[in-house]
């Protein structure tokens, strides 16, 4: 026994199919969000926002050596109190790894001693601010506002990744 599909039933089937086709993505997206299925666990920033830090000009530091810092340059400030020579060298290599964008970054080594590496300023802490953490790295925007803070445990490759991302989204 065959069921005859008349014109009215055919139109109803088309309407149901159109409803299913257009509602399936919404139902799928809701399920992905609700049950966390198929949602990538991608990390976009390795550093934490440095909202609580004062502007760079208000930091308790005394500049020892000066280099020219342009108006549109970001600053990579780092506390150089432990393994200073090694830390300065690895951050200098990270700076070089920026390639064509290296001119957009200046480095500020706070603490330690020795000669300044190319593109680096040397400074000393005048006090011990409460927000300072040993061997931390701070990425500061051209206006002097701290953008990201990296604890000593963050690999330099992750600092480089975040710096490149900020340069990409903050094109001149």
Condensed to tens digits (0 to 9), the pLDDT of residues 8-42 reads 888 999 999 999 999 999 999 998 888 878 776 66
Condensed to tens digits (0 to 9), the pLDDT of residues 34-79 reads 887 877 666 667 777 877 889 888 888 887 666 556 677 899 999 8
- 172 vs 170: CA distance, rounded Å: 6
| Mean pLDDT of all residues in 100-126 | 86
pTM over 0.75: no
Q: In the predicted model, what is the mean pLDDT of the chain?
A: 85
For 58-70, give one letter per residue: b (16+ CB within 10 A) or e: ebebeeeeeeeee
For 126-135, give one letter per residue: b (16+ CB within 10 A) or e: eeeeeebeeb
| Mean pLDDT of all residues in 111-115 | 78
Q: What is the pLDDT of residue 37?
A: 82
């Amino acid at each position: 026994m065959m069921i005859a599909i008349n014109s009215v039933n055919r139109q109803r089937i088309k309407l149901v199919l159109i409803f299913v086709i257009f509602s399936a993505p919404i139902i799928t997206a809701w399920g992905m969000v609700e049950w966390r299925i198929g949602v990538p666990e991608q990390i976009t920033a390795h550093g934490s926002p440095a909202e609580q830090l004062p502007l760079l000009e208000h930091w308790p530091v005394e500049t020892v050596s000066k280099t020219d810092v342009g108006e549109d340059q970001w600053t990579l400030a780092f506390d150089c109190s432990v393994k200073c020579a090694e830390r300065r060298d690895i951050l200098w290599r990270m700076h070089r790894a920026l390639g064509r964008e290296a001119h957009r970054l200046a480095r500020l080594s706070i603490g330690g001693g020795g000669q300044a590496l190319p593109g680096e300023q040397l400074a000393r802490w005048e006090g011990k601010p409460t927000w300072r953490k040993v061997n931390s790295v701070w990425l500061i925007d051209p206006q002097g506002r701290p953008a990201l803070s990296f604890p000593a445990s963050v690999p330099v490759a992750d600092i480089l990744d975040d710096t490149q991302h900020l340069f990409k989204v903050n094109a001149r």
